[in-house]
Chains A and B, each alone.
Chain A
């Protein structure tokens, strides 16, 4: 099979699974009143039939979802193995005037690696969901997981991300980009027990959509400048500096939205309202990774504009620290992980800002592994104790040993404990920043300093909150005596166990030339392509900071094992917990003014614009009525008017006759 065909099939397989899945029947939820009202044998059999039909649909949906993800994974692995250099294939999709939109794939080693990560996480999520979204014996009637549309939407989500990965055209990339956004919207709103879910879903889509305004305009600028939206043509074209800078900044807006970078990061923590497997999907390899990946895709354009890289560097540093600090004060285990994602994506964009797409992609891959692992493990914990709040967990180490050890691996990788994966990739980012601060990179040296220093501070904070999470959840005494937690059932356990392998070992792949060659292909043609692995004396600095962070958290916890180490933050804690209140700022500066503007415009439109139209009508009628009244005059006045008219006409005739 040709490489291009493999690339084209990659998104097509889960897309087909998703579209078919959407057609599956969905039995409506039976409300309690309905059930009370249904009496008699007929109603009971009717209901049994509905449940039966639902379970058949559920089985088909499971089959479709898993098959779609597994097929995509097989294709991605085949692509990774067979690909021996960049490949490109395209055909014209549609021409708008002089602008060509193509339908095509653009494949390189980096794309194949990311595709494998996406498909692997998607498969894990599909399998995990089977167990996670299932009505347990103790759940109340209200629980209804409507599995078929859920699984289909996960498939569509996967297809959209894979489309972004393989796309050889900016418009096609935009298609995947936005479809992913709408799938995230649908999936975040999935859980009908949470009243905040629909609002969170809407926020996720709208905040990213605001970024996408920039993304679309950036794409338009580049496409118009190059006369084609094909990535190869856009990269080959010699754009003017102004166009390049403007387009780069506009694209960054889209990247910030999708990858949850300051100031468009606010949607991501709220998106935790979605089911936990969805959080894993959004946070690990898809959605948030898309922004970073899009920048590596268009890297030559960014490398040519130091201004854009400087902006990216500032954005990355702010996000990195903001996310890490916000993660320190959360009580909800999923929100800790969500903020840690914000912070880790900051490392990736930081690597891009200092001119190292391979380092960014390496961290993207390891992060995909360990973050998916962490979310799925957290899901197992939530599944077992029935809450997301760490203040009601504690002491789970003995009850849930498998989950415990997997979480240890995941948190170790997150914090950067050698030799786990995150250590090597974060080291790569810091080394790239170090190179840049010495002035040998496309970005200004100060950006290198900024990313390097914030990255180091971030290491310590990350270690602190990772330790806190572990201690609060798994150590100490159980704070909820009623719960009887246990390790999760098989469909939940295996994805977690299998993800622990790359989370632990993927970093070592950096020593494997086959792997690094593929990763470095994203910076093809870059003279002096940066090394990926750095083992030098400078490794000691982040290690020391790591120990400092762990030690501080540990010391705080040792003093009182029942207390939250975050208490040490003192008055800063509420500030961090609400992430510097940026949500409120956004609400006050954007949401409320927009709503008020809408009301004002509506009133003006109805009163003034429409009022003018109806007023004209009413005026015409009044005028007609007035004239009508005049004509309804009594006989003497009418006769007088008639004579006056005759006189006037006669006079006029006489005058005209006299002049002519």
Chain B
């Protein structure tokens, strides 16, 4: 077993064993420390994947469209021809690192603060299980394995929302978070059913579940590809989420505890967009080409509708949740163009949204923890009482409105550029509308800042302690620095992605 294969296993095994260890350690605080250490080790392993990546020369004269740096291919259930096939390449690696980083930050944050509702130990264990599921989804190179990991995430996330979510312990609050959790679980389960059917349509037609072999769609007839793409794209559209299949998201994000929202928005949604690029587009390119205009229209609808809803939104976390609909619309628009520019834009948009929205949810959580309200009408004058928190909120909002020079810019601007590049009145129209969506995004985020930070301090903000806790600073600083670093040096994300995206686009032609 090479070092790379060892690392691939470690990335999944460390958090899985960590979760078990956390559950086994009886003392709450010690368990949380163990969990945080496991998350940190996972991040180290994830980063190390980059260090000794192999060449591609092993692949002969016609290289496949997916060329993992490391891969591990073991028989798993020989009777059903299931294989345990993992691999990492330039498309998945940034997301793997982002997942490991956000989980570490969430675990670290939980060392300091556990939301009311359950034990911190259980929360950290669940976070690690969620991490295993997400990382497995990004690493799987076997369709069935991909589906399995995709499903692993669902129940622990449901438990996090229902167990630690909401604010308040009165019956109405409990009922609200139960409802949100149920909606999340059932809605995405509905998507999963489609995914399962899609996976088996592909596997049955092609006779293999190996993503490397399937990418390019050469083994599938056009009709199978159309059917498979529709099924898979619908499943991923629920997860991403694509308008109009998004309505589970605002409730889930609003009710989830801070760490839950961060993981939900930061990486869970990326499973949808990643699956769309790797599985749906890769396996059924003819289907993708056929459905691209529809996807483009829905993406732009998501941008505009998400932004307009945010303009009329009155609750802090709900506003940020809805902003995800708009931002993911840009990512989906990039994918819909099916050009190298667009897919690269989608990849960096994914990572940037994870960083920035993760930060926004952390900040919104901090504000709600302090004031016990998220109503924009009750919050004002934050910059008077808590200048640091207010400054960070302003930074995150500015990053979220895709200010050039910060991470969010590349994904959104180049989704528009990719649409322009696609040419023709249809895509140009989509580009124009998406660009206007960018202006609307600025409008609602500045409205948010104006309500929350400016003006005289409101009643709930008067007695606020101005300082920030060390754990808060520790959790937020990496995200602030990354938002700046990815903005100034997009190569951090796209340097590794350029070659695999090129290879993928080659097979789309």
Contacts and interface: CB of A to CB of B under 8 A. Distances in A.
A12 to B, nearest CB: 12
A610 interface: yes
A292 interface: no
Interface string A78-97: 00000000000000011111
Interface in B211-250: 243-244, 246-248
A95 B309 contact: no
A178 B387 CA distance: 24
B247 A216 contact: no
Interface stretch (A104-112, A169-177, A322-330, A337-345): A169-177
Given A33-B462, A149-B391, A216-B413, A28 B385 contact: yes
A28 B384 contact: yes
Interface in B437-491: 438-440, 442-443, 446-447, 450, 454-455, 457, 462, 466, 490-491
B312 interface: yes
B289 interface: no
B503 to A, nearest CB: 13
Contacts of B312: 595, 598-599, 601-602
A205 B308 contact: no
Contacts of A614: 183, 247
Interface in A175-217: 175, 177-179, 182, 185-186, 189, 192, 195, 197-199, 202, 205-206, 209-210, 212-213, 216-217
Interface stretch (A220-228, A473-481, A495-503, A522-530): A220-228
A96 B439 contact: no
Contact of B341 (A97, A177, A178, A599): A97
A213 B438 contact: yes
B418 interface: yes
Contacts of A205: 442, 446
Interface stretch (B88-96, B104-112, B359-367, B397-405): B397-405
Contacts of B466: 28
A552 interface: no
Interface in B285-335: 305, 308-313
Give the most central of A31, A96, A595: most B CB within 10 Å.
A96
A223 B187 CA distance: 42
B450 A96 contact: no
A217 B305 contact: no
B187 A613 contact: yes
Contact of A605 (B309, B339, B409, B432): B309
A602 B439 CA distance: 18
B186 A617 contact: yes
B491 A94 contact: yes
A216 B498 contact: no
B446 A185 contact: yes
A146 interface: yes
Contacts of B174: none
B414 interface: yes
B436 A213 contact: yes
Contacts of B243: 609
Contact of A182 (B247, B398, B414): B398
B345 interface: yes
B496 interface: no
A99 interface: yes
| Interface of chain A: mostly helix, strand, loop or mixed | helix
Contacts of A135: none
Given A179-B404, A182-B398, A216-B413, A28 B454 contact: no
Interface centre among B187, B248, B309, B384 (most CB of A within 10 A): B309
Question: How many of chain B's residues touch chain A, expressed as a range?
Answer: 35 or more
Contact of A97 (B310, B340, B446): B340
A489 to B, nearest CB: 28
Contacts of B454: 189, 192, 197-198
Contacts of B183: 613-614, 617
Contact of A221 (B247, B305, B420, B501): B420
A98 interface: yes
Nearest to A207: B439
A199 B383 CA distance: 16
Nearest to A33: B462
B341 A206 contact: no
B438 A198 contact: no
Given A213-B439, A220-B416, A601 B305 contact: yes
B350 to A, nearest CB: 15
A175 B248 contact: no
Interface in B196-214: none
Nearest to B435: A213
B435 A216 contact: yes
B370 interface: no
Contacts of B457: 31
Given A26-B387, A175-B405, A213-B436, A93 B490 contact: yes
A544 interface: no
A597 interface: yes
Contact of A179 (B342, B403, B436, B446): B403
Contacts of A649: none
Nearest to B398: A182
Nearest to A605: B309
23 contacts: A28-B384, A28-B386, A28-B387, A94-B491, A96-B341, A97-B418, A146-B387, A175-B405, A175-B409, A178-B403, A182-B398, A192-B384, A198-B450, A205-B442, A209-B439, A216-B435, A216-B438, A217-B432, A594-B440, A598-B310, A601-B309, A602-B313, A605-B309
Interface of B: 183, 186-187, 243-244, 246-248, 305, 308-313, 339-342, 344-345, 383-388, 391, 394, 398, 403-405, 409-410, 413-414, 416-418, 420-421, 431-432, 435-436, 438-440, 442-443, 446-447, 450, 454-455, 457, 462, 466, 490-491, 494, 498, 501, 505
